[in-house]
Amino acid sequence: MIITHLQKAFLIAGIALLTVSMITSPALAGTKYLTGSPDLTVTIVGNNEFVPGTTVTLQIQVQNSGLNEIKFVQTGIVDTDDIPSTAKMVTVSLLPGNSPALIKSDPQMIGDIKGSESVPATFEILVPDDAKAGEYMLPVELNYTYLQNAEQQGTDSITYRYAEKRVTFNLPFIVQSAITLQIADVKTENINAGGSGYIILTLKNTGTDTGENAVANLSRSGNSPIVPVSSSVFLGTFAPNTTATAKYKVSVSKDAEPQDYPVTVSVVYDNTDGETVVTPDQKIGVPVGSDVEFTIISANPELNPGKKSFIQVTYRNDGSIPVYGAEVRISAVDPFTSADDLSYLGDIQPGESKVARFGLTVDATADTKIYGLDSEVKYRDALDDSHVSDTVKVPIDVVSKEGFAALLFNPVVIGLILVIILGGAYFIYEYRRKQQTQ
């Protein structure tokens, strides 16, 4: 390849310019930190006083107060990726220490914390029902890594040396003096599906605080069929190791099955500091009996068309509670009519039977078959509340008449009788007329 004199001139000029620029351009300066390290502290955010029997959220703030005291800037120094005051890969562990608290959260990785920054960590803590009042210390353990030294080799490489550190802090944790509610006994009266009754609770204060103006509250639990009618009972002074009785009236929905259903109990009171406090909700199971049900156990009454008759129907109480002042009404529909459709049964204990008496008339044109008439039992429960039972079918067998009575109601026989009567009357009439003309 042949290079002309002009090309040589341009090449020499470019080399000269490059050389001049390299000589006149300053080298970039780097930064090196000669001292500094993380300085971590922890504090509780918000309240640190908690009531026994509660699950609380405890928030901890991790603060890094570390400073970089000496920074050296010089040409030829390569910048490091990390600075000594940064706490890297910080892990926070909350321990129960000598406290009664149960730590429900695992240790948490909260990442890197630069100097003058803070990062929160949240833990779930259970304070047991039997936790004694007092101040305790919760140890908080921090594990982290930081840049201890960075050694530069030449102008383009650095060797990092990291150190691991573990520090522990103690945070004050206060368990308040409080009532600890215990359900010592549960009794019921007339609790059955579709009715009303009472729940009687024996409440005990197993805590360390005396509750003033204490009120025991009963509430519905979720979709439980048990609904309080009276939900609050005043207990007054509720001292440690004392018991109190609370009686509540409740109603039970009609579709409840015979089994246990939950209700919720709590006590609201004034503590020794004059603050109004509510104990944690406690669920208890309440047994519910079956709905009041009546069953007919007598044989099917038989009635004849065109005739009024009195029938007797035996009703048995198949429920779990007694009923009072029961009376039953039967609904007469075509081809039946009745002027005596109500019968008094009186008080009926579970498993006991009573007889009802009705007067029914069957239309003469009624078909001979089994009919079902509706009946309902109205009664009062032990709380004097009025109820009406589900419909109870009364089967009635309409049968044709037999013997001479059947002949009398036979249309053909009735027609023959009418012919005979009319013929006899005509014969007598003619006979008398002839006697008069002679």
Segment 54-113, tens digit of pLDDT: 888 999 999 998 766 555 444 545 455 567 888 999 999 999 998 999 999 999 999 999
User: Across 389-432, where does the E strand assignment appear?
Assistant: 392-398
Give the span between the Cα atoms of 145 and 264, in whole angstroms.
50
* Residue 435 located in a structural domain: no
CB 217 within 8 A of CB 231: yes
Listed residues 241, 261, 287: the one ending a domain: 287
How high is the mean pLDDT of the chain?
84
* Residue 168 located in a structural domain: yes
Q: Please report, for residues 122, 165, 170, 237, 428, the alpha-carbon distance to residue 90 in angstroms, rounded to integers and kept in the order given.
A: 14, 10, 18, 50, 131
* Chain centroid, CA 48 distance in Å: 30
Residues 31 and 169 in one domain: yes
Residues 189 and 169 in one domain: no
Listed residues 140, 175, 210: the one ending a domain: 175
Residue 27's pLDDT is 46
Residue 407 predicted with pLDDT over 60: no
Q: Where residue 328 sits, what CATH number does that domain have?
A: 2.60.40.10
Q: Residue 425 sits in which domain range?
A: 403-429
Residues 64 and 153 in one domain: yes
* Residue 210 located in a structural domain: yes
Question: Which residues are within 8 A (CB) of 339 and not within 5 positions of it... i.e. 6 or more apart?
Answer: 359
Residue 419 predicted with pLDDT over 80: no
Question: Which residues are within 8 A (CB) of 128 and not within 5 positions of it... i.e. 6 or more apart?
Answer: 52, 53, 100, 102
Residues 221 and 266 in one domain: yes
Question: Which residues are within 8 A (CB) of 192 and not within 5 positions of it... i.e. 6 or more apart?
Answer: 252, 288, 289, 290, 291, 292, 319, 320, 321
Residue 35's pLDDT is 55
pLDDT tens-digit readout, 273-322: 788 989 889 999 999 988 889 999 999 999 999 889 999 999 999 988 89
User: Into how many domains does the chain fold?
Assistant: 4
Which amino acid type is present at position 25?
A: S
This prediction has a pTM of 0.61
Residue 266 predicted with pLDDT over 80: yes
pLDDT tens-digit readout, 332-366: 999 999 989 999 999 999 999 999 999 999 999 99
Give the span between the Cα atoms of 153 and 159, in whole angstroms.
7
Query: Largest alpha-carbon pair distance within the chain?
Result: 187
Residues 105 and 154 in one domain: yes
Residue 1's pLDDT is 44
Residues 260 and 187 in one domain: yes
Residue 184's pLDDT is 94
